[in-house]
A and B are shown apart, each in its own frame.
Chain A
Amino acid sequence: MIGINMSHVVLRPSFLAARKGLAAGLVAALIGLSLAGSPAIAQNAAPAAAAAPANAAPQSAPASTPATPPAGADAAATPPAADASADAAPDTRGLDQEVQGLKKDVVDLNRDLFVLEEELLFPANTQVAVFLSMDVGDFFALDSVQLKIDQKEVINYLYTPREVEALLRGGVHRLYLGNLKVGKHELVAFFSGKGPNDRDYKRGANLSFEKGIGAKYLELKINDRQRKQQPEFEIKDWE
């Protein structure tokens, strides 16, 4: 509505001329700004500008003269840009390598600290480690293991289905790590879970062992005994 009404307005000739001049000036300024402001346009325009004088050269020599310097200037300006991108790429790569190196150092340091912690907390001459492994598991679904050393409960570990699955795939779980004096000791392990026919099942196994000067490794093994259709629990002493 406003546009329609405005079309009916009669403008004075002097005002129209001034407006035309202002509009032309604005357009020229905008074009100049856009050409100067965007280097991509300037760079794309440069070959065209360079090509145009080459074609136009036979027609008019003065026309080619002003066109040549911008082309030369662009040719001089292009290599630094390429150099800048080439310089930036190695810097990033170097930084990435540095970060990777630092990550590796952190992992190595963590490993060393872990080893140091184990050596300090569980010296080899008193160390006792108990592992648990499981084979097949058709007759027994493991739920938990209670471990007693010298009639003292040292751990009561609940197994989740994921952990049991890992054991069935051949995994070995370090159930307990502790310290014991040199001499005779007794280990008792209680296994609970679901036995054959999905019945609650609890069994125990014990082992008397001699702790020497070196570290002691014991393994609780759960096997299926096919002939009896029952699970079998044994404790193996790793010499």
Chain B
Amino acid sequence: MLRRVCLWWRCVSTALAVLIALSTGTASLAQPTYFLLGHEAPDFALRAVAGSNVRLSEHRGDVVVLSFWSSRCSPCRTQLAALDKSLATYRSVGLQMYGINVDDDQTRAIEFAHGGQTVNFALLLDPAKAVSRRYEVDNLPMTLLIDRNGIVRYVLRDYSAKSDDLYLQQLRTLLNE
């Protein structure tokens, strides 16, 4: 009897440990300590690699995804492709997406935009890094999800299959609001 109880407790404690580890992993992906979470996203206007200038405040009423990226960062390029897929799915329900390039050499971003691996959303240039500084970008890729009221609701500071699932889940939550 005692042996059974011990075994049961061991199973329960293992399951709890796994759950805690999983939740910690998810939390580290989401970085809930980001200073802009729950605050209005700072407005900006940036030049696009191709097309017209973009001002964030003009998209109030849409869910906006901002992805800070660099042409030197391999996960960034993979993430841009993944974001592009989600845009194709959710564009009709009010999703706007922008990739903000933080390269020192803007020609690499332009080459990327005009190269084979193109995306269907505007790639913006931030040559003075004024926007990156305002958003305190400290990791690449960094993705922000802004709700229809212009409030920063989620931030992802990494890209992996797990973070991609989390991103889609958060994106659906915002689109459903």
Q: Enumerate chain A interface residues (CB-CB to B < 8 A).
A: 143-144, 157-163
Q: How far is the CB of B142 from chain A (nearest CB, A)?
A: 23
CB <8 Å contact, B58 and A160? yes
Contact with A along B48-61 (1 / 0, CB 8 A): 00001111001000
Q: List 20 A-B contacts (CB under 8 A).
A: A143-B53, A144-B53, A157-B45, A158-B45, A158-B46, A158-B47, A158-B53, A158-B55, A159-B53, A160-B45, A160-B52, A160-B53, A160-B54, A160-B55, A160-B58, A161-B52, A161-B53, A162-B55, A162-B58, A163-B55
Q: Which residues of chain A come closer than 8 Å to B53, judged between CB atoms?
A: 143-144, 158-161
Most chain B beta carbons < 10 A, residue from A158, A159, A162, A163: A158
Nearest A residue to B51 via CB reads: A161
Complex: how many Å from CA A161 to CA B47?
Answer: 12
Q: Which residues of chain B come closer than 8 Å to A143, judged between CB atoms?
A: 53
Complex: how many Å from CA A161 to CA B52?
Answer: 7
Number of interface residues of B (CB under 8 A): 8
**Chain A interface SS verdict (over half):** mixed
Nearest A residue to B128 via CB reads: A156
The 6 A-B residue pairs with the shortest CB-CB distance, nearest first, are A158-B45, A158-B53, A160-B55, A161-B52, A160-B53, A162-B58
Which residues, 27 to 67 on B, are CB-close (under 8 Å) to A? 45-47, 52-55, 58
| Further contacts, 18 of them, CB under 8 A, given A158-B45, A162-B58 | A143-B53, A144-B53, A157-B45, A158-B46, A158-B47, A158-B53, A158-B55, A159-B53, A160-B45, A160-B52, A160-B53, A160-B54, A160-B55, A160-B58, A161-B52, A161-B53, A162-B55, A163-B55
Contact with A along B112-149 (1 / 0, CB 8 A): 00000000000000000000000000000000000000
Nearest B residue to A161 via CB reads: B52
Q: Which residues of chain B come closer than 8 Å to A160, judged between CB atoms?
A: 45, 52-55, 58
Q: Which residues of chain B come closer than 8 Å to A161, judged between CB atoms?
A: 52-53
Nearest A residue to B52 via CB reads: A161
Q: Which residues of chain B come closer than 8 Å to A158, judged between CB atoms?
A: 45-47, 53, 55
Q: How far is the CB of A163 from chain B (nearest CB, A)?
A: 8
Complex: how many Å from CA A2 to CA B47?
Answer: 77
Q: Which residues of chain A come closer than 8 Å to B58, judged between CB atoms?
A: 160, 162
Nearest A residue to B54 via CB reads: A160
Nearest A residue to B45 via CB reads: A158
Q: How far is the CB of B2 from chain A (nearest CB, A)?
A: 47
Most chain A beta carbons < 10 A, residue from B45, B46, B53, B55: B53
Nearest B residue to A163 via CB reads: B55
Q: How far is the CB of A155 from chain B (nearest CB, A)?
A: 12
Q: Which residues of chain B come closer than 8 Å to A162, judged between CB atoms?
A: 55, 58
Q: How far is the CB of A219 from chain B (nearest CB, A)?
A: 22
Complex: how many Å from CA A160 to CA B58?
Answer: 9
Complex: how many Å from CA A149 to CA B101?
Answer: 31
Q: How far is the CB of A109 from chain B (nearest CB, A)?
A: 20
